[in-house]
Structures are given as C-alpha cells and as structure tokens.
Amino acid sequence: MKKTFIEVSFPVKEVSEESAREKNIRHGHISTLHIWWARRPLASSRATSYAALIPAVSEDPTEWNKKWQFLIKLSKWENSLNPVVIEKARKDILEANGGKVPRVLDPFSGGGSIPLEALRLGCEVHAVEYNPVAVLILKCTLEYPQKYGKPRKVKEKDKVGLEYEKEINPLLEDTQKWGNWVLESAKKEIGKFYPADEDGFIPVGYYWMRTIPCQNPICSAEIPLTANWWLAKKDNKEVALYPYVEGKEVKFKIVGDGYEKMPADFNPEKGTVSRAVAVCPVCGGVVDDDTTRKLFQQGKAGQRMVAVVLSQGKGEGKFYRLATDKDLEVFKEAERYLEEKREKLMEEWG
Ligand SMILES: [Zn+2]
C-alpha cells in the first residue's frame, strides 16, 4: 500500500499553534455546546484526518511545500466554513480514494472532534461511544444539525394580517424554545434559592472554602484553605478576598477594582495552602501535608461559605459581596429540599 502523507511528514508545530489558539474561541465552537474532557482541538483533528487520507507527495520540494502549506491553511479555525479550502480538501480525499467516499470509524468518539472534522472533509463517518453523555453530545454535534438544521420557509402574518414568507432554522427555534422551557421550569422550582438582593442583584454563584482546625493547641482556629485569594483576575478587573484576623477568627474584606483599595503589602497569589501544607493566618503555625490529609480522611475538615457572586442580568458583569447568615440559611434550605427531592425520586424511580 502507498504511504499516506501523515506517515511521511506533518506540520506539527504550526497545527499545534492553531490548536492552542482555538482554546480561546468562544463563539461557534463545539466546546461551548457541552463540556467534554480532553476534547481534541478541531484544528489537529481536521489536519490529521486529511493527512491520513491523502497520499504522500513525491520528492519534488515544490509539490511537497504546496501540500504542507495547504495543510496549515486547512487547520485554521477561520477556514472551517471556507468553501474554497474545504472543497479542495474534499476533492483531494475523493481522488486519493479512487473517487469513492472513504469510510471513517472513530471507536472512541468522546467530544466528537474527529468525526465532525471527517464529516466536514466529506467522509462517511461512524462514531462510537459508550458514555451516554458523550453519545448525546455526538448526536447534537454530528446528527441533529444535519437532520433538523436546514433553514426552511414558513408563512407568517404581519400586524395587519398580510401574509409574508420568512426563513427559519427549525433547530435554532426549537433549541431556543426548549432551552427557555428548561430555564422557566428550573426558575419555578428552585428560583427561590436564588433570592435577589435589595438592589436587584441575583446570586449566581457561591465561593466556599474547605477548612481545617489549626493544630496549635493554644490556637485551634479554623483555617480557610485556599491556594490564592482571587475572586476575579482579568486585565481590566482584579478583585480579591482580603483576610484579616479578629480574635481567633479569620474574617474577610473584598478589595480591588470597584471595592476597597487593595493593600499595597497584600499578595493575593499567596493563599493559605500549597501542596497540602497549610499555614494558619491566626498564629502562623504550619500544618504539614500528612496532617492535612489525615484531617480530611478523619472527617475533621469543614467548609465555609465565604463570598457570593451576583449578577444583574445577562452580560452585565459580576459583582461580589461577603456571604451572610441569610445566604447560609438559603443554602441549608436548598440542601433540605434536595434531600427531600432525592428521596422522593428514589421512591418513584427505584
Ligand atoms: Zn493557629
């Protein structure tokens, strides 16, 4: 059998760069559909699939360079829907396979990058997975867009009753409709566990810290464990929790952009724990890694709700405040509700 391109050479460096760049793409990428562990980048999936389906080129350096450059071009995110580039790749593959559409089987499809790219390259694709979550992701990535995503024309009436034609995408409409249904149903059932603050801000997240008791017998303070104190660390927004000691208790203030000024001698990068070695902010005592692990194993570690993340609505940015007793009360209520619900469902479903 003749060697394929990938067996002879491959632009590893360039395609790796494209793959790394892809991680920052938030719009239109399948990674935003649902999280999947170790989903392969589309750039490398596309480039390796192509390079495995075309033959190695002759020794002619010009020919070889042309293919090499095309592979890099093909791997770029921007060319995912470029008809000229994709059509050329499809044509090359078809030609290499004697005019027959090649069959690609991915027996461990996972997040679906390889089957998606093989489909894009015009192959007949078979994706296999035994994890039901991955199977659903695969259906949504590979099957449903083709089956239900074709735009069609519908007739609608305008305000004065005149009929007009409108193009809709049924998949888009249904996703919006059922997505809203899930949202509204969830709001109805658990919305009460996210009560709005007086200023209208709604809690969207809670910061918790695991805790261990300080092993210094004359201290025994509760040490909040955290690798760093950041709440937000962006170029334009740095917010952190500032710990201070009152009596034998560690308390917090929120400092940074939009809050109290961050003290000059405060380094938010330096938390209370690193590699399971914890430092008590009250007495400065050190809990070694073996003891920390033992405390967890013996169930002596606790947890503390520290801060609440709030939002005013979609795209409005996040806001932080310290957790209060009321937040904890709401959390406990939610915990009780979840337990009741779990028992009820266990009874219903067995
Ligand atoms: Zn201590």
Distance (Å) from CA 219 to ligand 1 centroid: 5
Indicate whether 2 pLDDT > 90.
no
Q: What does the pLDDT read at residue 1?
A: 66
Residue appearing with tokens 């606790």 = 302
> What is the Å distance from ligand 1's center to 245 Cα?
11
The three-class DSSP label of residue 326 is helix
- 3 state SS of 57: coil
In this model, does residue 177 exceed pLDDT 80? yes
Give residue 39 CA to ligand 1 midpoint distance, Å. 43
Residue-level pLDDT at 38: 87
pLDDT digits (tens, 9 = 90+) for 115-130: 999 999 999 999 999 9
Q: Are 50 and 107 in contact (CB under 8 A)?
A: no
Rg (CA), the chain: 28
Q: Count other Cβ atoms within 10 Å, centred on residue 187.
A: 11
Distance from the alpha carbon of residue 213 to the mean position of ligand 1, in angstroms: 8
Packing angle, helices 42-53 and 113-120, rounded to 10: 50
Distance 217 CA to ligand 1 centre (A): 8
What percent of the chain shows pLDDT beyond 90? Answer: 85
pLDDT at 159: 87
Q: What is the 278 CA–ligand 1 centroid distance (Å)?
A: 10
Ligand 1 centroid to Cα of residue 282, in Å, is 5
pLDDT-derived band at 249, boundaries 50, 70, 90: very high
CA of 168 to the centre of ligand 1 (A): 64
How many Å lie between the centroid of ligand 1 and the Cα of residue 240? Answer: 23
Strand residue runs (E) in the chain: 103-106, 124-127, 152-157, 163-168, 202-213, 222-225, 230-233, 238-246, 249-256, 273-274, 277-279, 286-287, 302-311, 318-322
* pLDDT beyond 90 at 26: no
Task: State the pLDDT confidence band at 72, using cuts at 50, 70 and 90.
Answer: very high
Over residues 263-284, the mean pLDDT reads 95
Measured in angstroms, how far is the CA atom of residue 287 from the centroid of ligand 1? Answer: 9
What was the pLDDT predicted at 60?
Answer: 85
pLDDT tens digits along 128-156: 999 999 999 999 999 999 999 999 998 88
What's the CA-to-centroid distance between 222 and ligand 1, angstroms?
A: 8
Identity of residue 205: G
- When pLDDT is averaged across residues 2-18 and rounded to a whole number, the result is 95
pLDDT in tens, 296-341: 999 999 999 999 999 987 667 889 999 999 999 999 999 999 999 9
For 256, left (φ over 0), alpha (ψ -120 to 50), or beta?
A: left
Mean pLDDT throughout 282-288? Answer: 96
Q: How far apart are the CA of 135 and the centre of ligand 1, in A?
A: 50
How many angstroms does the Cα of residue 103 sit away from the middle of ligand 1? 65
Give distance in angstroms: CA of 301 to centre of ligand 1: 15
Q: Give the pLDDT of residue 235.
A: 87
Band of pLDDT at residue 199, cut at 50, 70 and 90: confident
* pLDDT for residue 150: 92
Examine the predicted complex and report whether its ipTM is higher than 0.90: yes
Task: Tell me the CA–centroid distance for residue 216 and ligand 1, in Å.
Answer: 6
Whether residue 27 is predicted with pLDDT greater than 90 in this model: the reply is no
The residue whose two tokens read 């009460």 is: 192
Type of residue at 240:
A
CB-CB contact of 161 with 184 (8 Å): no
Q: Across all residues in the chain, what is the average pLDDT?
A: 94
8 Å CB contact between 78 and 107: no
